[in-house]
Amino acid sequence: MSADVTSPDQYINRELSWIAFNERVLAQALDERTPLLDQAKFSAIFSNNLDEFFMVRVASLKSQVEAGITASSEDGKTPFEQLLNIREELIPLLEKQQDHYGRTLKESLLNHGVQLLDYEQLNSRQKEWIDAYFTTSIFPVLTPLAVDPAHPFPFVSNLSLNVAAVIHDPDTGQRQFARVKVPQKNLPRFIAIPEDLSDKNPAPIHTAIPLEQSIAYNLDSLFPGMTVEGHYFFRVTRDADLELRDLEADDLMLALEQGLRKRRVGGEVVRLEVPKDMPENVVEMLMTGMTVEEEDVYRINGPLGLDDLFWLAGLPLPKLKSKSHSGQTPAALARTQQHLIEEGSVKQEEFETIFSVIREQDILLHHPYELFSTSVEEFINQAADDPKAIAIKMTLYRTSKDSPIIEALIRAAENGKQVMALVELKARFDEDNNIQWARHLERAGVHVIYGVLGLKTHTKIVLVVRKESSKLKSYVHIGTGNYNSKTSKLYTDIGLLSSRPELGQDLVELFNYLTGFSKQQSFRRLLVAPVTLRKGTEALIRREIEHAQQGRQGQIKAKMNSLVDPEIIALLYEASQAGVKIDLIIRGMCSLYPGKKGLSENIRVTSIIGQFLEHSRVFWFANGGTPEAYIGSADWMPRNLDRRVEAVSPVEEPALRKKLERLLDLYMRDNRGAWDMQSDGSFVRRHPKKGEQECNSQVELIDLWRKGIPAT
C-alpha cells in the first residue's frame, strides 16, 4: 500500500535540513584528509553560514513567535517548536567545532610553523611587542562605554565582538560594568607577531594572537585609577532581514538604503554568544541590557566568531591547501581571444569572433573548470567593442566589486550601443553593492532597471543583438550562476552560449517582461518563473510517470542547491511509486525522504561537499528514450518557482545533453565528497568499498580538464 504523499510525516523540516547541510560543511573541517588550511576555511564557512541563518531564518521564526503565530510548518512544527529543535541540533555542532579548533587544528598547525597563541602564552618580548602595538594601533580607536544609572546599556551592533569589563572603584568600593567594542572592521582579527621575537628554535613561520585578547589584557589603559577585576568576551547577532514592500515603496532604492541603515545596526537580538566561564551575573546583565531570552544564549567553549578563520585560510602556505585550479579556455573559444593576437600565438587572420563560433554551435560551459574570463566575460567584452553589436541586455544579481563585466557594459554604452542592465537591488546581503553599481551604470548612460514589482529577479541571462546582412540576430548566455568573476572560481556553474532563434526570441520577450508592462504568459523554449516554470517542471515529472506506467523507461536525474517545495516533493513521491527511477544531487536543504518503503523506494539523494561550492542546477529526463536536459537558475523551492523571475533553458544539442548526463553520473559515482541521505533523513558519508578506487568528482573534473578531456 502506498504512503500518503501529503502527510506532514513525509516532509523534513527545512530549517533542520539546513542545519544538516551545515553539519556536512563542518565535517569537511573535521576530516583529517582535508588539508589543514582548508580545515580552517570550512570551519569559517560553517560559522559564516550560521550567522546568516540566525540573521534571517531564526529571526523570522522569532518574529512569528512574538506575533503569536502558531501555524505549523509543512512537517507539523510550530515556530516555537522549530526554535527549540534548532537549538538542540546546533549545540553539539558548536562543541565539535570548538573542540576541533582547540585540540586538532591549532596543534597540527604548530607542526607546520603556524602558532596561534593566547596572550598568557606569549613570552616577555612578545608581550612587550603586543602591548606596544596596542598603544599605537588599537588604543586610539577604542571607546569604553560605562553602564550605570547615568549611562544606559549601550547599543551593541550586529555581529560585533565585544569585551565586557567588570571594574572596581577603589575610592567608593563600587563595582561597575563597561563595554568595549572590538574594532574588527579596521583591524585584523589575528595580530601577526614578528618571528624574531620567538624563543623557539626553529622559530614558527607565523605567530599570532586574537585581537580581542590584546585589548582585554590592556584594559587598565582604558580605566586609569580603577581596578579591572575581570573581562569576558561576548558577541551579538541581530535580525538583519530586510522586509521590503515594493507596492508601498515609491522609490525602491531609497527604501533599500533606509533598510540597510537599519541592518548595519541591526534589529532585535536573536543570538547572544558568551564564553562558558562567563559568570552568571554578567550573563544576566547582558540579557537584561539587550532583552535576550535564555534560549537565545549560546555558551561557547572557545573563541567567538570563528568565521575569522578565513585569515588562516589566506596564509601563503600552498602545501597546507588543496591544489588550486586556474581553469582552461573552452576549446571551441580558443581562437576568439583578442589577447592571443597580442601575445603573438594567433595571427590576426586566424582570429575568430566569439559570435562566429556560437553561430556554428551551441557551447556548454562548466565553471570553474572552464574560465569565466575567457568565455562569459569575453562574450560581453566582444559585444561591447563589436561594431555589429547594437544592443546588450543582461541581469545582474550578484557581481564582484571590481567587475570586468560592469566595465564592459559602460564601454558599450560609450560606444553608442543600447545597453540595459537589470540590477537586482534586493539580492540579500549584496544590496549596498548593487545600489552602488546601479548608480555607476546610470551615470555612464546604461539604462538601469530594478526588476519586476513584487518579485526578485534571480535569472542569469545575457542577450546580445547584432546587425548581420541587414538582419538582426540574437546571441544568448543562460547560466546557473551569478555574473561574478570572484565566485566563478569558487562555485561550480553551468552556462549555455547559443544563437538559436527561439532562445533569442524568448529572451527578447523575457526582457520586455522585465522592463515594461508585458504580461507574457508563454515562451517557446524557456521555462520562466513565475509564469511557466512550475507547470512546466510538473509536466516533465508527470510525463516520466506516464512513461513508467506504459512500461517505458521512466527516469529523472536532477542537481540543485535545495529541494523544499511541497508540491514538487509530493509529485516526486508519486513518480517513485509509479516506478520512475530518480537520482537527486542536492547540496543543501532537502525536505524529501528518499528510499522510504511504500513512499520513495526509487529515489536516491546524494549531497556533494568539496573544494568548490556546488551551485549548478541541471535537470535531466529520460523521456522514454528521447532524453531532455535543462539548466537554469532555479531550485525546486516555492520562492524560485513562485516569487522570483527565473529562466530554465533546454540544452538541445544531443552531444551536450549527453555531456550533462555523464556529469550527473560522475557525481553519483563520487565516493569521496559524497553523502548518502538515508530513509530517516540523516546523511552518511560515502566511502570507497573494499577494492574500489576513490572517486572525487571535483578532483576528477580538474584532472580531466588538465588532460584536455572535459567531462562536460
Q: What is the pLDDT of residues 473-524, one digit of tens each?
A: 999 999 999 999 999 999 999 999 999 999 999 999 999 988 876 677 889 9
Here the CATH number for the domain that contains residue 535 is 3.30.870.10
pLDDT at 4: 74
Q: Does 500 share its domain with 545?
A: no
Residue given cell 546557473 in the structure block: 480
Nearest residue to 654 (alpha-carbon basis) of 623, 629, 631, 621: 629
Q: Does 210 share its domain with 262?
A: yes
pLDDT at 173: 85
Q: Does 534 share its domain with 505?
A: no
**288 class by beta-carbon count within 10 Å (0-12 exposed, 13-18 middle, 19+ buried):** exposed
Residue 29 has pLDDT above 80, yes or no: yes
DSSP H helical segments within 476-519, as ranges? 501-515
Q: Does 472 share its domain with 553?
A: no
Active site residues: 458
Identify whether 380 is part of a domain: yes
Three-point CA angle 104, 109, 113, nearest 5°: 155
Please give the residue that has the higher pLDDT: either 652 or 426. 652
Are the CB atoms for 597 and 574 separated by under 8 Å? no
Q: Does 44 share its domain with 176?
A: yes
Q: Minimum mean pLDDT among 104-118, 343-357, 507-521: which range? A: 343-357
Q: Does 254 share its domain with 184?
A: yes
- CA–CA distance, 70 with 690 (Å, rounded to integer): 50
The confidence band for 252, taking pLDDT boundaries of 50, 70 and 90, is very low
The confidence band for 247, taking pLDDT boundaries of 50, 70 and 90, is very low
Show which of 515, 543, 562 is a domain's final residue.
515
Nearest residue to 354 (alpha-carbon basis) of 326, 367, 373, 369: 373
Q: Minimum mean pLDDT among 190-194, 316-320, 411-415, 515-519: which range? A: 515-519
Here the CATH number for the domain that contains residue 156 is 3.30.1840.10
Identify whether 349 is part of a domain: yes
Burial 577-587 (b: 16+ CB within 10 A, else e): bbbbbbbbbbb
The confidence band for 260, taking pLDDT boundaries of 50, 70 and 90, is very low
The confidence band for 149, taking pLDDT boundaries of 50, 70 and 90, is low
**What are the residues whose beta carbons fall under 8 Å from the beta carbon of 349, sequence distance 6 or more?**
none
Identify whether 29 is part of a domain: no
Residue 73 DSSP label: -
The answer to whether the predicted template modeling score (pTM) of the entire model surpasses 0.85 is yes
Please give the residue that has the higher pLDDT: either 244 or 598. 598
pLDDT at 93: 98
Q: Does 303 share its domain with 428?
A: no
Residue 236, SS3 per DSSP: strand
Residue 263 has pLDDT above 80, yes or no: no
Q: Does 305 share its domain with 367?
A: no
Show which of 515, 549, 579 is a domain's final residue.
515
Radius of gyration of the chain (CA): 28
Residue 115 has pLDDT above 60, yes or no: yes
**What are the residues whose beta carbons fall under 8 Å from the beta carbon of 345, sequence distance 6 or more?**
none
| Cα torsion angle, 16, 18, 650, 473, sign | positive
Across residues 700-707, what is the average pLDDT? 84
Q: Does 123 share its domain with 265?
A: yes
The confidence band for 150, taking pLDDT boundaries of 50, 70 and 90, is low
Q: Does 360 share its domain with 486?
A: yes
Show which of 515, 540, 575 is a domain's final residue.
515
Identify whether 25 is part of a domain: no
**What are the residues whose beta carbons fall under 8 Å from the beta carbon of 517, sequence distance 6 or more?**
none
Across residues 65-94, what is the average pLDDT? 95
Identify whether 21 is part of a domain: no
Are the CB atoms for 441 and 414 separated by under 8 Å? no
Q: Does 355 share its domain with 294?
A: no
What's the total number of domains in the chain?
3
pLDDT at 424: 79
Residue 597 has pLDDT above 90, yes or no: yes
Q: What is the pLDDT of residues 306-349, one digit of tens each?
A: 999 999 988 999 999 998 888 899 988 987 765 555 555 555 55
Mean pLDDT, all residues of the chain: 90
Residue 244 has pLDDT above 60, yes or no: no
SS3 content of the chain, % helix, strand, coil (to 5): 40, 20, 35
Residue 668 has pLDDT above 70, yes or no: yes
Q: Minimum mean pLDDT among 115-129, 517-531, 674-688: which range? A: 517-531
Q: In this prediction, what percent of the chain has a pLDDT beyond 70?
A: 91
- CA–CA distance, 205 with 202 (Å, rounded to integer): 9
- CA–CA distance, 424 with 505 (Å, rounded to integer): 23
Residue 675 has pLDDT above 50, yes or no: yes
Identify whether 10 is part of a domain: no
The confidence band for 256, taking pLDDT boundaries of 50, 70 and 90, is very low
Across residues 455-462, what is the average pLDDT? 92
* Range of the structural domain that residue 552 is part of: 527-706
**What are the residues whose beta carbons fall under 8 Å from the beta carbon of 478, sequence distance 6 or more?**
460, 461, 495, 496, 498, 503, 507, 526, 631, 632, 647, 649
Residue 451 has pLDDT above 80, yes or no: no
pLDDT at 246: 38
pLDDT at 440: 79
Q: Does 592 share its domain with 466?
A: no
Are the CB atoms for 230 and 166 separated by under 8 Å? yes
Give residue 314's identity as a one-letter amino acid code.
G
